[in-house]
Each structure stands twice: as C-alpha cells, then as structure tokens.
Amino acid sequence: MKKKPEIVLALCKELEMRKAELSGTVRTIYFGGGTPSLLTSEELDSIINTIYKNYQVAESPEITLEANPDDLTLEKIKVLSKSKINRLSIGVQSFFDNDLKLMNRAHDTAQAHQSLKNSKTYFDNVSVDLIYGIPGMNENRWLENINTVIALEIPHISSYALTVEPRTALKKLIEIGKIQPVDDAMAKRHYELLCQLMEQNGYRNYEFSNFCLPGYESQNNSAYWEGIPYLGIGSSAHSFDGNSRSWNVSNNTIYCKNIAQGILPSEKEILTVQDRYNEYIMTGLRTISGVSLNRVTERFGEDYAKYLLEQAQAHLDSGLLILNNQTLIISKKGKFLGDKLSSDLFRV
C-alpha cells in the first residue's frame, strides 16, 4: 500500500477533526474497503486508540476487519487475535480455482481453506463472502461452496450475485465470447438453493444477502439497514447523520494533502423526506424486520403510510408481499424480486 504511514496519519487526524459529528455511543467499528488487512498491528492500534480517545465507545463494541485469504497468514491471524479486532470478514468468493481466476482473485482454493481454519482457531466471530451466478458454476459446485462453509462452522455468510463491472477483464471475455454471460435464471436458482440449505442448517436469513447462526448478526450492517447514523473515515468513505449524506474525495493523495491542512475534502447532500422514505423502503424490505407502517407514519407522516399501503396492495394480492402486525415483509415467493418491489413502493 503506497504512502501507508501518511494515510494512517490522515485517518487519525480526520477522526479528531470530526469527533463532534457523532453523538452517542460507538457500538461498531468496521475496517473495510481496499485491503485494511495490510495494516500492521501498530497501525490498527493507532486508529483504534484514536477512536477510543475521541469518541464514547461501548464496553464491548463489534470491531470487524475485512481481509482476503492471501493476506491472512497464520502469524497475521495470531497478531490480530491479540488486538481489539473481534470479528473477521473474509472475501473467499469461491472454493474453486477456476472461479477465482475468472474473478481475478489473488488467492487460491488452498489459501481459502487454510485462512478459514486458522481464523476459526483464533476468532469466534467469522464471516465469509461467497459469490453465486458465476458463469459455468453448476448447482453441485455451488452447493459444495455452501457446504464447505457449513462444515467449517462459519457463523456468518454474506452472499451476492456476480456483477460484471465495465472495463474489466471479465467484461471483455464475455464480450468476445470466451466466457458465458451471467445467467439471471441460474443466479436465482443458486440463491434459492442457498436459502434452502442455510435454513436446514440453522442459519437465519436476516437480510437478503446475509445469513447467520443465532447471535451472529452483523451489528455494523444491521445499524446501516436500520438507518442509524454512521461516520466514514478515509478517501471515498461515506457518512450519514440521519438527514444528510456526505462522502470524501476518492483520491488518496488529495485526501491526505487536504487533511494535513485541516480541510475536510468532502461533499454533502441534504436528504429530503422523500429521499429518506425511499431509503427506508429499500433497506427495510431487504431485512427480516420488513417495513413498519407505524414507523413510516412516525417518521414521514400519515400521507406516506397511506401511499405505501396503496402501492403495496397489488403485491399483497399476488402474494409477493405479506402484511403482518402492520409490517410489510417480502414473501419467499417475492424474495428475488426485492429491487422491483422496492421501486414500486418508492415515492417519486
């Protein structure tokens, strides 16, 4: 990581500069984006200590570190286990080398297995990312991916459909016919198999893409879905205070230079009532908690609650949505149609 000491110094200074922005108790700390696992234990401690010095932190906060299997050597895991980090989120994606090469991942199958085994030895709370809908991945291979995680007793799984980003090698290979395009029907089938197998093995699908054993919900992600304010530190980081959203410049050099001068290199967008309503619909429908009509009334007014129920009626009639105790929840039948259902309920 280029200019790592300079970036760590800037992160700590931004934390100090923005301490007045976050009131209340900090219950989760999340090291994500890029490769935070490349930070040394001293660098991680420096950032965490700055947070404890400038913010009110809960007695036992959830502190997560994102990492790739190739970064998690046994020695690295041992060092992390002695820090305040108490949760690892590991980007495995697949346990098949062909899939990993297709997605241009740096690790291989052996490293994926070893990193999880070592992580489970030193950490109780481990999450794994898996990708479904990969071209050429049949049902048996997908089931083997899921069963591998279950056999390793990983308590949390985040699973996402493969998205093909523009200007990538994968996009080019699909365009020239070297690789099959992503098959939406296959991705839907993979997701259905995932839900089925997770449920059979005691995992709770508490958000569309997230599954956990009892007590292992991601507190960080849950706070985001519930609309709790958060502070994002570093280049490209986003923040939310309940009424506005802000984001830092994406260039590391500009970010560090501005912070060194005491300037916060960010932009801000004030969210309208309509914006906040739409965000609540989008995040709420993805979760097991659903969208509360009472909460809509309290936060946005009776007119919004009436509009929501009117828009939802057709999907209630078709069985894609369920109304239970004044709460709208997506049914199993409508689960893979969440984005479409949300957009139908948006206020535009």
- Of all helices (H) and strands (E), which one includes residue 75? helix 74-81
Q: Looking at 197, 225, 253, which one is the last position of a domain?
A: 225
Q: Confirm whether 255 is domain-assigned.
A: no
Tokens of 313: 């009626």
Rounded mean pLDDT, 144-149: 97
Residue 92 contacts by C-beta under 8 Å, 6 or more apart in sequence? 69, 107, 112, 115, 116, 128, 129, 130, 149
Q: For position 38, what pLDDT does the model report?
A: 85
Tokens of 185: 């029907």
140 shares a domain with 57: yes
Residues 249-267: pLDDT tens digits? 999 999 999 999 999 999 9
Query: What is the longest distance spanned by two Cα atoms in the chain?
Result: 59
- Residue 310's domain is classified under what CATH number? 1.10.10.920
Could you write out the three-class secondary structure of 167-214? CCHHHHHHHCCCCCCCCHHHHHHHHHHHHHHHHHCCCEEEECCEEECC
Q: For position 163, what pLDDT does the model report?
A: 81
pLDDT confidence bin for 2, thresholds 50/70/90: low
Q: In what order do the strands lie in the sheet containing 244-248?
A: 238-240, 244-248, 266-270
Residue 160's DSSP bridge partners are 131
Whether 172 has a pLDDT exceeding 90, the answer reads no
- Residue 61's domain is classified under what CATH number? 3.30.750.200
Domain count along the chain: 2
Cβ contact 239:230 at 8 Å: yes
Tokens of 198: 């997770």
Q: Looking at 225, 241, 265, which one is the last position of a domain?
A: 225
Residues 237-250: pLDDT tens digits? 999 999 999 999 99
- Of all helices (H) and strands (E), which one includes residue 58? strand 57-67
Q: Looking at 225, 249, 284, which one is the last position of a domain?
A: 225
Q: For position 336, what pLDDT does the model report?
A: 87
Residue 62 contacts by C-beta under 8 Å, 6 or more apart in sequence? 27, 28, 29, 86, 87, 125, 218, 219, 220
Q: Note the helical H segments in 82-180.
A: 97-102, 109-122, 139-151, 169-175
203 shares a domain with 75: yes
Q: Confirm whether 264 is domain-assigned.
A: no
> For the CA atoms of 183, 180, 131, 283, what is the dihedral angle to 10 degrees?
-40
Whether 67 has a pLDDT exceeding 80, the answer reads yes
> Distance between CA atoms of 331 and 233, rounded to whole angstroms?
37
44 shares a domain with 137: yes
Q: Confirm whether 244 is domain-assigned.
A: no
Residue 298 contacts by C-beta under 8 Å, 6 or more apart in sequence? none
Whether 1 has a pLDDT exceeding 60, the answer reads no
Whether 284 has a pLDDT exceeding 80, the answer reads yes
pTM of the model: 0.93
330 shares a domain with 193: no
329 shares a domain with 215: no
279 shares a domain with 209: no
CB atoms within 10 A of CB 214: 9
Q: Tell the residue number behind the tokens 């690892």, with chain if given.
A: 88
Q: Confirm whether 261 is domain-assigned.
A: no
98 shares a domain with 196: yes
188 shares a domain with 56: yes
Residue 211 contacts by C-beta under 8 Å, 6 or more apart in sequence? 156, 157, 158, 159, 194, 198, 203, 204, 205
Whether 153 has a pLDDT exceeding 90, the answer reads yes
Look at the alpha carbons of 168, 169, 175, 180 in this order and tell me if their dihedral is positive or negative: negative
297 shares a domain with 209: no
Report the share of the chain in percent with pLDDT over 90: 84
Residue 282's DSSP bridge partners are none
Pairing of strands 244-248, 266-270: antiparallel
Which range is least confidently modeled, 222-226, 272-276, 343-347?
A: 222-226
Residue 107 backbone phi and psi in degrees, to 5: -95, 165
215 shares a domain with 108: yes
- Of all helices (H) and strands (E), which one includes residue 276? helix 273-286
Return the CA Rg of the chain.
21
Helix 302-318 to helix 338-345 angle (10° resolution) is 140
Expressed as residue numbers, the domain containing 327 is 273-345
Whether 346 has a pLDDT exceeding 80, the answer reads yes
Whether 68 has a pLDDT exceeding 60, the answer reads yes
Q: Confirm whether 37 is domain-assigned.
A: yes
Q: For position 90, what pLDDT does the model report?
A: 97
> Distance between CA atoms of 208 and 211, rounded to whole angstroms?
8
Residue 267's DSSP bridge partners are 247
Rounded mean pLDDT, 127-136: 94
